[in-house]
Amino acid sequence: MKAGICSIIWKERMDIFDVVATAARVGAEGIEVWGQPPHIPDAADLGHVAKIREAMEANGLAAPQYGSYVFAGKAGFIAEIKQELAITAELGAVACRMWAGPGDSEVLDADQWVATVADLKEACAMAADMSLLITLERHSGTANNTIWGCQRVIDEVDSPALKINYQVANTCTDTITEEIRILGPHILNCHATNSRQTTEARVMTRLADGDIDWAGLIENLRAAGNDGFVEVEFVRRGDEEISLEETESELAADVAFLKECMGG
C-alpha cells in the first residue's frame, strides 16, 4: 500500500505544479489530481495534462486515479466520460474516479437506476479498452452512499473494470470493519480524513488523532487484498482555514502517519 494525497486539499489556493512540488516535499507517493479549475482549467487541453504528468514523473510521484466530476445517469454522460478518460490516460493515471447516479441509492427510481447502470457499463467498456479502471466515489448524494448501493451497482454493472474509492461514512470501528469485509475485493483506493466528536460539534483532526482507527482500517484493507493508495483528501484542523505553511506541515504529519500504519 502507498500514501498519496488529493490536490483538492488546496483547491484554488495553489497551482497544480506547486502542489506537485509540495507533495514530493511531504513524502507522498502519488497525487489524485482534482479535475476542476485551476488544476484542470480546460478539459480539452491535454497539453496541460501532459505537463502535469511530466512534473509528477520528475518528482517520483504516481497517479493512482484522476478526480473527475462526471455522474453516471445524468444527461450528457457519455460525451463527458470520453473526455475524462482521455485526461486519465494522458495523466498516466490508473483509474478515472467518478460518481454514480443523480441521487442517494434509496431515492433513485427505477428509470434512474437503469440509466446509471447503463452508463457505467459503457464507461467500464471504454475504460477497459484503454487499459484503465473506473472508481466510484463512496459518497452521499450518489448511488454509492450506502454499502447496499455500492453492492447493487457492482452486481448490476458486473465489470472487472469497476472499482470503489472508499470513504468512511461512519466512525464506528465495527461498522468500518464490516464495510471493508464486504467491499474489500472491489476497493482500489481510499480517501483519508479524520475528526473527533466534542461536546459541541465534530471537529477535523490529524489522521492520527480522530475517532477513526486508521491503523486498523489499513490492516483491514490489507487483509482484504488491497494494495492501493490511501490518499489524504483534506487537511483541516477544527473550523478555521490554516495557512499554506501549516497545511504543508500538517500534511507531512498525515503522510508520515499513513506510512507508519502501512509498516514503513
HSE-CB of 218 using CA atoms within 13 angstroms: 22
What range defines the domain where residue 76 resides? 2-261
Separation between Cα atoms, residue 256 and residue 202, nearest integer Å: 24
For residue 201, pLDDT beyond 90: no
Query: Which pTM does this prediction carry?
Result: 0.95
Separation between Cα atoms, residue 65 and residue 219, nearest integer Å: 22
Separation between Cα atoms, residue 89 and residue 87, nearest integer Å: 5
Q: pLDDT digits over 91-150, tens only?
A: 999 999 999 999 999 999 999 999 999 999 999 999 999 999 999 999 999 999 999 999
Separation between Cα atoms, residue 173 and residue 38, nearest integer Å: 37
Q: Which string of b and e fits 18-37 if b means at least 16 CB within 10 Å?
A: ebbebbbebebbbbbbbbbe
Residues of the chain above pLDDT 70, percent: 100
Cell output for 152: 447493487
* CATH number, residue 175: 3.20.20.150
The total of structural domains in the chain comes to 1
pLDDT tier at 170 (50, 70, 90 boundaries)? confident
Position 247 scores a pLDDT of 97
Position 194 scores a pLDDT of 96
For residue 200, pLDDT beyond 90: no
Position 264 scores a pLDDT of 56
Separation between Cα atoms, residue 10 and residue 67, nearest integer Å: 14
